[in-house]
Structure 1
Amino acid sequence: MNNSPIQFSSDAPRLSVVIPVYNEEDGLNALFDRLYPALDQITSQFALSYEIVFVNDGSKDRSAAILAMQYEKRPDVTRVVLFANNFGQHMAIMAGFEYARGEYVITLDADLQNPPEEIRKIVRQLEEGHDYVGTIRENRQDSWFRKSASRAMNHLRDKMTRITMTDQGCMMRGYHRRIVHLVSQCEEANTFIPALAYTFANKPIEISVKHEERFAGESKYSLYQLIRLNFDLVTGFSVMPLQIFSILGMLLAGAAGSLFLLLLIRRFVLGAEVEGVFTLFALTFFLIGVMLFGLGLLGEYIGRIYQQVRQRPRYMVSAVLEQAKS
């Protein structure tokens, strides 16, 4: 891996904001109305230039057309990357990293749950020398179930991966160019960008940011997709689940041996017992369930190896709207 210092072009902006977009036609104009004024204020406060990199992740509504119109209005600071298909939020961010030119890169969702005005807080931390700025959502505007499940998964992920992120679900984060460069060099087919970036950080920090209700539409992450995302996170950064099942297998083998000895002793002391048959059935079904779950977990790791060795492109870009370089 090449760790040589990153060279910046003299005309490159210092700040790049990367925004993945998927079926957000109802809220994009509201995003534009708040995003550009917020960044214009940051420009004057911190004396830095900016660009916005929108990545349309194969939207099936009018999102691509709305982004194209916005590019026509502000071509000086707007770049639009159009995917040929839907490849997922994290692949959209990876593409945004590839096309972003700034020394600082901030990721932001398009649904306005993270207010664009909070970008100022992240820029301040980056200016103070932090290379990774994580965020924690204040007064989170989600359902009780979603918040409870998120806390449980945060705790589980922290124990398994040793990656400390208080709020893994908040995608509004800041990265120094060095971190972006290292993340872009990783060719993993499945990854979780905030966790991956954290492993490269020398001076990380977490700050609190405001959280609002979605301006329009609903979350693009279903329960199944959230489970898949957490599988990617755990299996991508730790082999502890496999180690847990190895220990569990040894414990169950010991318990099964002890049960066998107990039944053997009872057979000679008390004679044949019909009542124990149903207990054995229950134990058998339990052990079968544990073995099937363990095989499924092993399959998750093997499946990721299979996806990786095929070396297929992680995403396909159909077009990029940007000003021609002079």
Structure 2
Amino acid sequence: MNQKPALSVVIPVYNEETGLHLLFDRLYPALDALQIPYEILFINDGSRDRSAALLREQFQLRPEVTRVILFNGNYGQHMAIMAGFEHCRGKRVITLDADLQNPPEEIVNLLAAMNQGHDYVGTIRRTREDSAWRHWASRLMNRLREKVTHIHMTDQGCMLRAYDQRIIQAIVSCREVNTYIPALAYSFSSNPTEIVVGHEERSAGESKYSLYSLIRLNFDLITGFSILPLQFFSLLGMGLSLLSALFVIFLVLRRLIVGPEAEGVFTLFALTFFLIGILLFGIGLLGEYIGRIYQQVRDRPRFLIQGILEAPLPPEESGDA
């Protein structure tokens, strides 16, 4: 690169062999049209297909603006983005999925919003091209997440987002093992905003997010940014203890007044099973927080980089001059 890029585009890649050529054909012209210095960081997240080979070929075609980070295994989308953040050089950073569901041509609109003084730009998909269950599940989880964490993101599933370099530095300084990057950026931002962008069907391949992955992501989001669930179960426990005490008093008085009786045994069983279910759910929730603490205190590397494909820096940037 001849000069420090004004824009870095970070793209995690996992088994996207069938769609990468389409991405290249649309992404580079869209960025060239901006007429600003830019770089693209592809992070190969342990792909098992030919994605790494295709990224290498693309690097050889456009080495002046292309960089490729190769993981030695699969660490997940957010760890791939975090690696991109640690190595990007641009004053502004945009994250983009490799599946072309978010059109690269929308990048100019995110930069226009940043030119208005915003340090973080989220996006809202104009029309959802996902399946019906994912659409409704996403809406439900969005509402729950906003109630619990007080973080306002209209569309948390859209990864097309723009960040100021100051926000990127704050995110990189966090050493959390499990996190949700857009929520982290929102908590650090002083002037966030959201804009509406287009959304298309996947150009090729299948979504890498299963139902379990979506549930896992929202667990990380809720438990990583709020202790409200623990506080809720504390209040619920106190409330149930009070009701249980009142119920015991009621049973004692009924026995003194009515005498021994066999009726109501199955009702007591039902109440017992209900309370045991709440207890087990609360223990599971507590285990979720303890598990996060356990993962954090081990202090293991969040990801391992096998190699980086990039052109050498000019002397004034590498420190040789």
**CA offset at residue 151 of structure 1?**
0.8
| Residues paired across the two proteins, number | 314
1:96-127 per-residue CA deviation (whole Å, 9 max, x = no partner) reads 01111000000000000000001111011112
Q: Does 1:34 align with 2:26?
A: yes
Query: What is aligned with 2:10?
Result: 18
1:139 pairs with 2:105: no
Q: Aligned-pair distance for 1:158? A: 0.6
**Deviation digits for residues 2-45 of structure 1 (CA, Å, limit 9, x no counterpart):** xxxxxxx99210000000000100100000011011111122xx
Partner of 1:159: 147
TM-score (norm 1): 0.95
Structure 1 residue ranges, 4+ long, deviating more than 4 angstroms after superposition: none
| Structure 1 residue runs without a partner (length 5+) | 1-8
Deviation at 1:189, TM superposition (A): 0.7
Measure, in 1, the Cα distance between the counterparts of 2:47 and 2:208: 11
> Does residue 240 of structure 2 align to residue 256 of structure 1?
no
Secondary structure, counterpart of 1:171 in structure 2: coil
Distance in 1 (CA, whole Å) between partners of 2:240 and 2:137 is 29
Structure 2 residue 129 is matched with structure 1 residue 149: no
Aligned AA (1:112): L
Secondary structure of the residue that 2:34 maps to in structure 1? helix
Determine the structure 2 residue equivalent to 1:307.
295
What is the CA-CA distance between 1:71 and the residue it aligns to? 0.5
Change (3 A) 1:98 1:307: same
Q: Which amino acid aligns with 1:12?
A: K
TM-score by length of 2: 0.96
Percentage of identical aligned residues: 64
1:313 is paired with a residue of what secondary structure?
A: coil
Q: How many angstroms apart in 2 are the aligned matches of 1:181 and 1:145?
A: 36
Could you say what secondary structure the match of 1:244 adopts?
helix
Specify whether residues 165 and 298 from structure 1 end up closer, same or farther in structure 2 by C-alpha distance, changes over 3 A only.
Answer: same
CA distance in 1, matches of 2:279, 2:126: 41
* Matched ranges for 1:154-303 at <5 A: 154-303=142-291
Code of the residue aligned with 1:230 in structure 2: it is N
Indicate the residue corresponding to 1:102 in structure 2.
Answer: 90
Give me the whole-angstrom Cα distance separating, in 2, the residues matched to 1:188 and 1:255: 40
Partner in structure 1 of residue 319 of structure 2: none
Q: Distance in 2 between matches of 1:169 and 1:251?
A: 36
Match of 1:59 in 2: 47
Residue aligned with 2:194, SS = strand
Return the alpha-carbon distance in structure 1 between the equivalents of residues 47 and 4 of structure 2: 29
Per the alignment, residue 3 of structure 1 pairs with none
Map of 1:78 onto structure 2: 66
2:77 maps to 89
1:5 matched to which residue of 2?
none
Amino acid at match of 2:20: L
What residue in structure 1 maps to residue 112 of structure 2?
A: 124
Given that 2:125 and 2:155 are in contact with CA atoms closer than 8 Å, whether structure 1 keeps it comes out as yes
Which structure 2 residue ranges, 5 or more long, are not aligned?
315-321
Letter aligned with residue 11 of structure 1: Q
CA displacement at 1:67 relative to structure 2? 0.5
SS at match of 2:33: helix
Shift of 1:90: 0.4
Match for 1:302: what amino acid? Answer: I
Q: Does the aligned pair in 1 maintain the 2:3–2:37 contact within 8 Å?
A: no
Q: Which amino acid aligns with 2:234?
A: S
Q: 2:318 corresponds to which residue?
A: none
